[in-house]
Amino acid sequence: MNRKFKQLAGGVSIAFALMGGHAAFADTIKIGITQNNVGVDSYQTTYEKAFKEAAAAESGVETVVLDAGGDVARQIAQVQDLIQQKVNAIIIWPTNGKAVVPAVRKAQAAGIPVIVTNSNIAPEGAEFIASFSGPNNIQQGASAAELMCEALGNKGQIVQISGQPGYTTAIERQKGFEDRLAEACPDVKILETQPGDWNREKSQRVMEAFLVKYDKIDGVYSGDDNMGVGALNAAKAAGRADKIAFVGATNFAVGYEAMERGEYYGSIYQSPVDDAENALKTAIAVVKGEKVPALNYFETPKITKANMKDFTKPVF
């Protein structure tokens, strides 16, 4: 009696599982996302909002939106939860490119494709992911170098304010810039590079020291406009802003406004909305079995005063 009941129950649950599984594939795609740290900066906050909106607009897509709060352990647990929930794909914005590799491997072993968004996973994790969707930070640095050449007429001396040390995005934006600068206009020399930590106040302090140290600075390249505007503040206070061209590697609202006023030469337009939509599209394509490039970058164009009308002001 007891055994019979168990068999019956087992059979029923298998049937349900089959039905459920079938339904999921035929009607809806379930995509789970675990983000890095929503709520600490405008980019990530806007990204989450855009992701939810994009998913709502897409018919037949259901999402589980999670946030690791910057905590590696919590993100690993969230990946395990998503595996348990048998989602069709997992999107991960790594809190730490190295530490999440085992969790990503587990998901892949469970047959769930993983898409990495915004900042890539460490190289040893590359074989376990279906695709990386995000900005090409090397390219952003390189485009910024071209803007700098253009602004200075291929000749001059500049200083660089880089992002947080050890942060992949910071390293790539610096490398892309330096390599392309040497190639595109070798007569523009970098006097010195100092980290500004993605922090406007710190960059302002760094720039104040640069201004004391160097009598002639023709340009300032910053890892993002937030830091660039800090440098601009310092130069304005010293009365030297009009002799300096400011170029950033990611456009922020403050940079956009300074550009409008003619105080800031140019930057690179990276939209969190494009970032989120690209991640969702990549995930859907992967689930549907379409061919997706391993590095699926979204467009990050140059923005200067000349073409800024074509772009809406960044929300961050």
Query: Closest approach of Cβ 33 to another protein, in Å?
Result: 17
Of 146 and 197, which has the nearer Cβ to another protein?
197
Of 90 and 254, which has the nearer Cβ to another protein?
254
Of 298 and 316, which has the nearer Cβ to another protein?
316
User: In angstroms, rounded to a whole number, what is the distance separating the alpha carbons of residues 6 and 8?
Assistant: 5
Query: Which residues in this chain contact another protein in the complex, by CB under 8 A?
Result: 38-42, 44-45, 165, 192, 194-195, 197, 199-202, 204-206, 208-209, 211-213, 226, 229-230, 233, 237-238, 252-254, 257, 316
Of 43 and 132, which has the nearer Cβ to another protein?
43
Of 44 and 143, which has the nearer Cβ to another protein?
44
Per the CB < 8 A criterion, the answer to whether 174 and 193 are in contact is yes
Query: Closest approach of Cβ 91 to another protein, in Å?
Result: 19
Residue 315: enclosing H or E segment and its boundaries?
none
Measured from the Cβ of residue 252, the count of other Cβ atoms closer than 10 Å reads 24
Question: At 116, is the secondary structure helix, strand, or coil?
Answer: strand
Query: Closest approach of Cβ 157 to another protein, in Å?
Result: 15
List CB contacts of 2: < 8 A, sequence separation 6 or more: none
Query: Closest approach of Cβ 230 to another protein, in Å?
Result: 7
Task: Give the bridge partners for 295, in sequence order.
Answer: 132
* Beta strands 266-268; 302-304: pairing state: antiparallel
Residue 231 is classified by DSSP as H
Query: Closest approach of Cβ 30 to another protein, in Å?
Result: 27
